[in-house]
Chains A and B, each alone.
Chain A
């Protein structure tokens, strides 16, 4: 059963704490992305990776970090420097080709601050 999985579904963060959101895909896609979604807003790009061991900042990277050690995995860490982390976080993946490839999304992780 191919697809993108995200865990956990809900995550609670205390003040000053770093938390890591998991994203795994078995679609053999080269590219992976992290988006943040706030109520009434579109999706905003945090980080993306087009190849293993390489990633680039998106539009709102401050307070976040990522790694891409494996093709299948692209974890996102929300650091204590992110002052407003409460949001719905979406991971996506796509093939890399000459034309824009479809991005497929995971089910999301909702992060809440205690």
Chain B
């Protein structure tokens, strides 16, 4: 089955700096890659996603890049703010005979933005 590795497990940056979180996946058939942000004691919220027919996607201060050949994708947050502090999860999935259900998650990155 699919395996998703996420690095680093913790990341501390100064306010205004950029943060980068990287994930690798094992199944070359995976074609959907969402990123979730989870604040303490809450459910994860989707912040951005990318499909395999696109190499990069941007939404304001957040961007995701995908390298299908190397099977890795990354989350980039620019001009970080204290409210960006949270746990970030990457995930991967593939369409499989209409059963487009299963997301495989990385283990998460705790991002701390210091004022």
Contact = CB atoms under 8 A, between A and B. Distances in A.
Task: Give the contact-size bracket for chain A.
Answer: 20 to 34
A99 B100 contact: yes
Nearest to B93: A100
B32 A105 contact: no
B25 interface: no
Interface in A64-114: 90, 92, 94, 96-108, 110
A40 B107 CA distance: 6
Contact of A43 (B6, B44, B51): B44
B42 interface: yes
Interface string B33-44: 010100001111
A43 to B, nearest CB: 5
Interface in B66-115: 89, 91, 93-95, 98-108
- Tell me whether chain B's interface is mostly helix, strand or loop, or mixed: loop
A90 B43 CA distance: 7
Interface in B1-53: 4, 6, 9, 31-32, 34, 36, 41-46, 49, 51
A53 interface: no
A42 B4 contact: yes
Contacts of A58: 102
A48 interface: yes
B46 A31 contact: no
Contact of A100 (B4, B32, B43, B45): B32
A6 B105 CA distance: 21
Contact of B100 (A40, A100, A104, A110): A100
B100 A101 contact: yes
A75 to B, nearest CB: 17
A108 B93 CA distance: 22
B101 A31 contact: yes
Interface of A: 4, 6, 31, 33, 40-45, 48, 50, 58, 90, 92, 94, 96-108, 110
Interface of B: 4, 6, 9, 31-32, 34, 36, 41-46, 49, 51, 89, 91, 93-95, 98-108
